[in-house]
Structure 1
């Protein structure tokens, strides 16, 4: 049996030291939660607060759409049209916030086209040819290509993304922007002027770290020296390049801010990475070249032109908890969302 005096002493020690220990532990917590950390927590909390951009409640307008398959112009409610665009432009299994971001971008594209380029579509706002405008699939086409099960399980999600952002567009200085978007970045998006001829202040290079999870983030093309030289000579008759020792004749000279090849020297000719992408049908203009004795390997990152919103990057942000308007604000700098109807 323990000595009663020893037990009494232990109780006294504990009664004195325990409050001191708790006080020290609490003090440590206060010290580590510095003003800087508190500010970061507040900022994070405020950024995750939901913002309701539905400020106007009007009937959605009808627009003219040129159907390139039938060669006819049809009138359609713009929101119904966007159901078909979103179904064609983004996977339905993406996060709903990414789908909402895509819906707003697609609506903005349509409004911008309607206000600026109807003459190019025979009096219509847009056409159904994805090589010229946006991908569009009618309800009947979706039902046939994707099946009844998709219509039941996924189409409602598509409609929700459009309906929840009804009438909302992206603006810069009060005007609808040119909301370029693409599949997958190489980790950063591109400045518009480094890819296309026009500079837009809201289409600037930004980090896009979640694209690395995309299925087409990385790809490789192997091509023989003979075929590579043949493709170049067929495209540029005045080029002076031969199959022997290509590593001394091909050199990447510069890259864009987003990582794509800006200039590349091939023999006596200087081209752009975009030129090479088109000639070889590469997934993007962001590539490295590995030379072998009889062949070249083009190691490519990303898929698409790289300007504006990365769709896989948007989905990654959505999976991390970002709202659709935060995604749009990230990829389209200094823009605001405006509710038209």
Structure 2
């Protein structure tokens, strides 16, 4: 779960019922009647978090709001933000459930306080963006995704390579709801293709920083005796769609994920061009490319698709349910 994350009910009544029938995801409980806000949509389940040196108990819904600010653009469409709220809530509760914890330090997300949100969004935009994020959380209050009675690994990423990747392709494990689907409009995204260039000295430094094992550190110290020394980088195995599985860097073989983290790359889908003065790395997509493409979800929302339809398109054979039912 953590790897996917370092590296994932809106309208009520007849319109919603029609949407549910069309898309196949079936929310079983309505959110409730009357005006809803962050104060009256609490889950009653808390996360323990340290803020400004003090430990506080935050309701899961409030915690979801603070996490949302750091993982999705507030400029996205309302339905896309609802999708994100469901994904984040599912992952938070899955971690709490499986790890038997309520400590924020054990949950692979960063919570942004009100002051941090103001700093990121700017004072002038804060009220507008805060209301959008709150509405997404409130309108999906308590809603999570499950498959076969269990909370799912709710993977998401910023931009795909034009189609999402299956869990089999990226993790080497077949997960029924994480299958590859077309996400064609992602190729229009700003971060669809990223070019990274490093000098050989920078490559050597990144390798050295990544090392944890003492023996490997000693090897790397020898390699760094000459800062201008060329480092051999050879991709040994890639998937059909270009996701790196094995790559040789200097004298060691790493997984694509390890190389992505080591060299600070935006995705595991890349190829390498060696030059005299350094290396050029061309990356496609941003993130783990599994599950829901945030860019693709926003495009669907712009086209009028509802949250349930977006979830149903990207994630196969999952159900949208109220958490207290699980």
| Per-residue CA distance 1:220-267 (angstroms, 9 max, x = gap) | 122234543565477445589898887xx5432322355311122346
Alignment partners' CA distance in 2, 1:336 and 1:250: 44
Paired residues for 1:242-257 under 5 Å: 250-256=233-239
* 2:313 pairs with 1:330: yes
- Offset at residue 284 of structure 1 (A): 1.3
CA distance 1:202–1:72, change in 2 (3 Å):
farther
* 2:130 pairs with 1:155: yes
Alignment partners' CA distance in 1, 2:132 and 2:24: 20
Q: Give the TM-score normalised by structure 1.
A: 0.71
Whether contact under 8 Å (1:64, 1:73) holds in the other structure is no
Greater Rg over alpha carbons, structure: 1
* 2:190 pairs with 1:215: yes
Instruction: Specify which of 232, 244, 269 is matched with residue 261 of structure 1.
Output: 244
Whether contact under 8 Å (1:265, 1:271) holds in the other structure is yes
Residue segments in structure 1 that go unaligned for 5+ positions in a row: 1-44
Paired residues for 1:249-328 under 5 Å: 250-256=233-239, 258-266=241-249, 268-328=251-311
Whether contact under 8 Å (1:168, 1:338) holds in the other structure is yes
CA distance 1:81–1:184, change in 2 (3 Å):
same
Whether contact under 8 Å (2:47, 2:60) holds in the other structure is no
SS in 1 for 2:45: strand
> 1:30 maps to which residue?
none
Alignment partners' CA distance in 1, 2:180 and 2:252: 28
Whether contact under 8 Å (1:187, 1:211) holds in the other structure is yes
- Offset at residue 68 of structure 1 (A): 4.1
Alignment partners' CA distance in 1, 2:248 and 2:119: 48
> 1:93 maps to which residue?
75
Alignment partners' CA distance in 2, 1:128 and 1:185: 29
| Per-residue CA distance 1:113-145 (angstroms, 9 max, x = gap) | 2322233xxxx1x5178xx52232233442454
**Aligned Cα RMSD in Å?**
3.4
* Matched length: 288
SS in 2 for 1:259: coil
- Offset at residue 278 of structure 1 (A): 1.8
Alignment partners' CA distance in 1, 2:159 and 2:65: 22
Residue segments in structure 2 that go unaligned for 5+ positions in a row: 1-18, 33-40
Greater CA deviation, 331-340 or 206-215?
A: 206-215
Instruction: Specify which of 24, 27, 32 is matched with residue 53 of structure 1.
Output: 27
Of structures 1 and 2, the one scoring higher in RCO (CA 8 A, sep 6+) is 2
- Offset at residue 86 of structure 1 (A): 2.1
Q: Give the TM-score normalised by structure 2.
A: 0.74
| Per-residue CA distance 1:16-39 (angstroms, 9 max, x = gap) | xxxxxxxxxxxxxxxxxxxxxxxx
Greater CA deviation, 100-109 or 252-261?
A: 252-261
